[in-house]
Amino acid sequence: MPMERSVSSRALALIAVAGMVGAGPARAADPIKIGVIAEAQSVVGASIPQAVQLAADEINAKGGVDGRQIQVVTYDDKSSASDAVRAFQRAVSEDKVNLVIASYISEVVLALMPWAARLKTPMITPGAASNEISLAVHKDYARNKYTFHGYLTSAALAQSICDSTKDMLIDLMKVKTAAIMSEDAAWTRPLDVGYEKCLPEIGVKVVDHIRFSPDTGDFTPIYNKIEAAKPDLIVTGISHVGVQPTVQWQNQQVPLAMTGMNSQATSSTFWSNTNGATQGVIFQSIAVPGAAITGKSVAFSEAFKKRFNSDPSYAGYMAYDQVYYAADAVKRAGSTEADKLVEALEKTDWEGTVGRTQFYGKDDPFTHSIKYGPGFVTGLMAQWQDGKQVAIWPKALAQGQIVLPAAVKAAAR
């Protein structure tokens, strides 16, 4: 017994000395905790935690960030803003995360912004598009500076689609008119405003504009109304839904090409989800497998598919890059302290899988949104062809050419 007490005392003394002498290094070795709040069961959202974990594992395998490992803590918000808020509170208060990567749904991110402000925790979205996210940062920077819009705004997405329509479809299909068909959601309101502005600027008249409930099950009346307006093209804003409008467009042989935003179409599972009905659908994406946007694009998509047996959605590409530039920000800041991390993130200049990422500054209305345009992130247009996503725009990244759906060809004749 005396021997045991002696050993215990000696051990305690050693621990105490180690604590005093090694306090600095011990703290430096603490993990960098990244919380991931995502829609794990959805077509688009499933890629987010997977891509974050893949990036973290790669960084950790190379020694981490100045010897600190990245630890990922994931939460499934079940596409619910209230569940996401509870997850954010838990992530910060209980799990002590240093940064949060959250959601592809704009309503969820907008609900989380006040909590990022209150809890002073940096948050990056890998897929929400609503202009209101970065506009809110601009309007009240001191409060909302902790939120980073790590995806293109709805305004930028609309411009990307108009740019591609001008380059690809106007001459090929003699497009002069279009109908806008968007789900009623926070992110599509500014998207549709963008469409209504930029389509006429490229010579395409908007002849109909339909906003439908995400709960819509039968799109027959909608397609009948659109056909009655006799547009040359349907331009979409779809994310929360995707299967139903796509399947019914194909089954009803709607004689109009469909382009625009269809977020679920960015996932490799969309072909099987629609039983091939997505054949011919043209959609905007950040990247697709095999398209070498940068030297990192193909390596990531191949590593993701090898590990998870599927291709990443657009939000997966964004989330993967965000782990890397967040780790770089921690390294440059020399800290995970929130305000220092915010300052470092604002200075991000990182070439990832989707292009060069920089954020707009305080003086830009889209403060903390990623920059759009040549030399930065522009995205691309792709088309589903025989079970594959084929990049068709811009020309420098094109893997193939547009194949017009049979119903569209028949109507053209």
The conformational region for residue 202 under phi > 0 = left, psi -120 to 50 = alpha, else beta, is alpha
Decide if 229 contacts 208 (C-beta within 8 A).
Answer: yes
Q: Where are the alpha helices (DSSP H) in 119-202?
A: 131-139, 141-144, 154-173, 188-201
Structural domain contains residue 169: yes
Looking at the fold, whether 182 and 255 belong to one and the same domain comes out as yes
Amino acid 5: pLDDT: 36
Question: What pTM did the predictor assign?
Answer: 0.86
Structural domain contains residue 35: yes
Amino acid 113: pLDDT: 98
Structural domain contains residue 114: yes
Structural domain contains residue 210: yes
Structural domain contains residue 231: yes
Amino acid 411: pLDDT: 63
Amino acid 22: pLDDT: 41
Looking at the fold, whether 72 and 209 belong to one and the same domain comes out as no
Looking at the fold, whether 148 and 45 belong to one and the same domain comes out as yes
Decide if 323 contacts 70 (C-beta within 8 A).
Answer: yes
Q: Specify the length of the chain in residues.
A: 413
Looking at the fold, whether 201 and 141 belong to one and the same domain comes out as no
Looking at the fold, whether 196 and 319 belong to one and the same domain comes out as no
Q: If we measure between CA atoms, which residue out of 354, 411, 383, 398 comes closest to residue 156?
A: 354
CATH number of 265's domain: 3.40.50.2300
Structural domain contains residue 172: yes
Amino acid 171: pLDDT: 80
Amino acid 4: pLDDT: 36
Q: Which residues 6+ apart lie within 8 Å of 270 measured at CB?
A: 43, 242, 243, 246, 264, 278, 384
For 271, the token pair is 């072909």
Concatenate the DSSP letters of all residues of 138-157 into one string. Answer: HHTHHHHTTEEE-S--HHHH
Amino acid 98: pLDDT: 98
Looking at the fold, whether 252 and 318 belong to one and the same domain comes out as no
Q: If we measure between CA atoms, which residue out of 27, 26, 2, 4 comes closest to residue 12?
A: 4
Decide if 245 contacts 220 (C-beta within 8 A).
Answer: no
**What CA–CA distance (Å, rounded) separates 264 from 241?**
8
Amino acid 108: pLDDT: 97
- Residues of the domain holding 49: 31-152+294-357
Looking at the fold, whether 278 and 342 belong to one and the same domain comes out as no
Q: What is the dihedral of CA 64, 65, 69, 71, to 10 degrees?
A: -110
DSSP 98: S
Residue that is written with structure tokens 């302290």 in the block: 337
Structural domain contains residue 78: yes
Looking at the fold, whether 174 and 268 belong to one and the same domain comes out as yes
Looking at the fold, whether 96 and 227 belong to one and the same domain comes out as no
Looking at the fold, whether 281 and 185 belong to one and the same domain comes out as yes
Looking at the fold, whether 42 and 66 belong to one and the same domain comes out as yes
The alpha carbon dihedral of 116, 117, 118, 120 has a sign of: positive
Structural domain contains residue 368: no
Amino acid 21: pLDDT: 39
Mean pLDDT in consecutive groups of 10 residues from the start of the chain, 413 residues: 39 42 52 97 92 98 97 97 98 98 96 98 96 97 98 95 92 91 94 97 97 93 96 93 90 94 88 94 93 96 95 94 98 97 98 97 97 92 95 92 82 58
| Tally of domains within the chain | 2
Looking at the fold, whether 103 and 125 belong to one and the same domain comes out as yes
